[in-house]
């Protein structure tokens, strides 16, 4: 019993310490965002890495996600003579949930791992210590550009995912369900509201914060050479995915306000 309590206490202390360190890193990063214009070159480089280089993966994911939604809902809708609902279901599913969440998952797997590996390698090779010796704050030089770039590019990627996903649904509706493309698009846009798109963009910006902060934190706390960097990278991806899914629920409840 004593050893169990000691283990539980040690785990709790370590958990609260990490939460505190994450919060302090977030606060410092937000504080340095005031100097974003002075570091615009670093931010633009990260925007290319996080956003432009991730577009193909997001597009492929969104295309087949939209097609799957159309296939699943289309054949069920035929049974109940609700073929006109395929477009609205695809549009609302992509803009409200699947667009931002799947984009966050893709970015967490690709970019979150890369951020943790890059920063972690700099940590274990003492490059971060060298930055501090040169009076350069690693948070300003490494974390803030990635944070700003992720917050900007995640919504952009989500818009791309929404468009491609709806296009994939349109392809299935026309080729497999014999739907008129004009009726499909008209029904989709009639069912969607600006708030549906904005809610997805708010979520994606929040997911960008999670991916950037978690990746940088795991990199900054990496120890133990190449093995430690590998473990930090794995933890960054797993923790980012978990927080994206958990926060998605709470953000959905908060945005909808308990209303359907």
135 falls within a domain: yes
Burial grade of 191 (CB within 10 A; 0-12, 13-18, 19 or more)? middle
CA of 144: how far to CAs of 195, 210, 256, in Å? 29, 13, 31
97 falls within a domain: yes
Asked if residue 228 has pLDDT above 90, the reply is no
17 falls within a domain: no
Average pLDDT rounded to a whole number, residues 107-118? 93
Asked if residue 37 has pLDDT above 90, the reply is no
Average pLDDT rounded to a whole number, residues 123-130? 88
| Mean of pLDDT over the chain | 88
Tell me the per-residue pLDDT of 9-30, one tens digit each, with 9 for 90 and over: 777 788 788 888 889 999 999 9
User: Of 10-14, 77-81, 87-91, which one has max mean pLDDT?
Assistant: 87-91
132 falls within a domain: yes
If you ran DSSP here, which 8-state letter would residue 176 be given? T
The DSSP string of 140-157 is: IIIIHHHHHHHHHHHHHH
Backbone phi and psi for residue 135, each to the nearest 5 degrees, phi listed first: 65, 35
Contact 29, 144 (CB under 8 A): yes
Closest CA to 160 of 102, 207, 119: 102
Average pLDDT rounded to a whole number, residues 88-99? 90
- pLDDT confidence of residue 237: 94
Between helices 113-124 and 194-220, what is the axis angle to 10°? 20
- pLDDT confidence of residue 11: 73
Asked if residue 168 has pLDDT above 80, the reply is yes
Question: Secondary structure of the chain: what % helix, strand, coil (to 5)?
Answer: 90, 0, 10
Closest CA to 166 of 101, 107, 86: 86
Number of domains the chain is built from: 1
31 falls within a domain: no
- pLDDT confidence of residue 143: 93
Asked if residue 164 has pLDDT above 90, the reply is yes
What share of the chain has pLDDT > 90, as a percent?
53
What share of the chain has pLDDT > 70, as a percent?
95
Asked if residue 214 has pLDDT above 90, the reply is yes
- pLDDT confidence of residue 1: 65
Angstrom distance (rounded) from CA 223 to CA 17: 17
Contact 107, 214 (CB under 8 A): no
**How many CA atoms within 13 Å lie on the side-chain side of 69?**
28
Cβ atoms within 10 Å of 136's Cβ, excluding its own: 13
Q: What is the extent of the structural domain holding 203?
A: 40-254
82 falls within a domain: yes
24 falls within a domain: no
Both tokens of 128, joined, read 């971060």
- pLDDT confidence of residue 78: 66
Angstrom distance (rounded) from CA 153 to CA 209: 11
140 falls within a domain: yes
Both tokens of 58, joined, read 């997001």
């Amino acid at each position: 019993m004593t050893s169990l309590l000691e283990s539980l206490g040690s785990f709790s202390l370590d958990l609260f310490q990490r939460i505190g360190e994450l919060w302090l890193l977030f606060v410092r990063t937000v504080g340095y965002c005031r100097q974003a214009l002075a570091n615009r070159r670093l931010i633009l480089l990260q925007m290319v890495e996080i956003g432009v280089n991730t577009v193909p993966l997001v597009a492929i994911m969104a295309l087949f996600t939209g097609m799957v939604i159309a296939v699943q809902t289309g054949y069920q809708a035929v049974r109940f003579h609700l073929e006109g609902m395929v477009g609205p279901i695809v549009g609302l599913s992509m803009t409200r949930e699947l667009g931002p969440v799947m984009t966050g998952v893709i970015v967490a797997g690709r970019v979150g791992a890369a951020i943790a590996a890059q920063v972690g390698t700099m940590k274990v090779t003492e490059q971060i210590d060298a930055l501090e010796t040169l009076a350069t704050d690693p948070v300003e030089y490494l974390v803030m550009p990635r944070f700003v770039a992720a917050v900007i590019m995640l919504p952009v990627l989500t818009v791309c995912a929404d468009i491609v996903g709806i296009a994939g649904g349109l392809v299935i509706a026309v080729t497999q369900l014999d739907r008129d493309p004009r009726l499909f698009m008209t029904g989709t846009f009639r069912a969607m509201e600006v708030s549906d798109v904005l809610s997805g963009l708010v979520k994606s910006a929040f997911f960008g914060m999670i991916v950037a902060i978690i990746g940088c934190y795991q990199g900054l706390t990496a120890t133990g050479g190449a093995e430690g960097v590998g473990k930090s990278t794995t933890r960054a991806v797993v923790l980012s995915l978990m927080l994206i899914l958990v926060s998605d629920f709470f953000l959905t409840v908060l945005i909808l306000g308990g209303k359907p």
